[in-house]
Each structure stands twice: as C-alpha cells, then as structure tokens.
Amino acid sequence: MEALFHYIRKYSSIAVSEEDFELIKSHFTYKRLRKKQYFLQEGDVCRYFAFVLKGAMRQYYVDEKGMEHVVQLAIENWWVGDRESWVKLSPSRYTIDAWENSELLMISYQDVVKLSQLFPSLAEMMRKMDESNNIATQKRITSAISHSAERRYADFALEYPEILRRFPQYVIASYIGITKDTLSRIRKQGLNN
C-alpha cells in the first residue's frame, strides 16, 4: 500500500494525511496473480481497475484471424484495466493477463467516484492520470500513422526502457504495430551501427 500512497502524493499537489489514506486504501482490494493468469477475459465486464504493485501485465485483443494485438503494457506503479468496460459496465473486447507473477490493488469505478468526491487529492490524481493517458494515446496514434517502424521502436525504447527489458520482442512489436521480423531486423541494424 505504501507504493499507492507515494503515487497519490506524486500526482497530487493536495496533501493526503495518513488518516485520509487509511480510508482510501480501505476501498482497494489486494490480488495476486500468477504468470499467465487472467485479470480480465474478453467478453467479461471489467469491474476493477488495478494499480500494479509488483509484476508486469499485458492487455490485448485477438482479431478474427487469431492475431494478438497488444494495446497496453503495465509494470509497477502503472494502472491496468479496460476503461470503457469499467465505466460502462459493458463486455470487454480485451484480455488482460499477468506476464509475470503480479500483485495488484483493485478498485471499482463506484469507489473511485466516491473517493474523488471525498478527497480532492484523489480527484486531482485521477485528472492528471487521464491527462497523461490522453497525451500518451495521442502520441501513439500519431506515431502509428506517420512514423516509420524504426522511429516507433527508437521512440519506444527511449521512453520505456524498463518495459523493453521485461517483455519479449514479439510483444513489443505488437504493441508498436510492427511484425516481430521487422523488429528483429531493426534491432540487428542497430547492433551493426
């Protein structure tokens, strides 16, 4: 829980007291997942968003040809979940699984709304998270439609070196929207330069 407390303090200019945090943390549920265990399966409703305390998670969908498309990767101090399903209580099109043994703190949408009304610090944190998420999504879309495979990989490697170390090439390739063969070629060219 200490990691969550530091996270809230990092993303909020409004002080969070120990007493406030005790109430906030009472709305979270701890969950441990083994490697390859599901947090969410396609077709299920995403009832919780999760703060990753330890481990690595992968969110993806499988197209009609059976190809996996990775839409999110998450490691410690990141959040994971299907926002659309979580907010609308609709069936998810995504699967989220643990890439490594993972420990999560889960919270429901209703609890986030309630806590955000009670604690301005949490509301500010959520707003800043949404802003960061929107900026990252916008950058990713721009990169996908206008940058070369080499540039997408270089930008990703620069921005997320820890994720690069924790996931295999084929997962990274899927996330940045290239084939694993293209990524292998790019990496070989980089080693030869």
Domain containing 53 equals: 29-107
In a domain, 80, yes or no: yes
Question: Are the C-beta atoms of residues 102 and 33 closer than 8 Å to each other?
Answer: yes
pLDDT higher than 80, residue 86? yes
Average pLDDT, the chain: 93
Q: Which parts of 75-167 are beta strand (E)?
A: 79-80, 95-98, 102-107
In a domain, 76, yes or no: yes
| Residue 12 pLDDT grade (very low, low, confident, very high; cuts 50, 70, 90) | confident
Q: Which CATH number does the domain housing residue 75 bear?
A: 2.60.120.10
In a domain, 140, yes or no: no
Q: 86: Cβ–Cβ under 8 A, 6 or more apart, which residues? A: 46, 47, 48, 49, 109
Report the pLDDT averaged over residues 95-100. Answer: 98
Neighbours of 60 (CB within 10 A): 19
In a domain, 87, yes or no: yes
Task: Report the number of distinct structural domains present in the chain.
Answer: 1
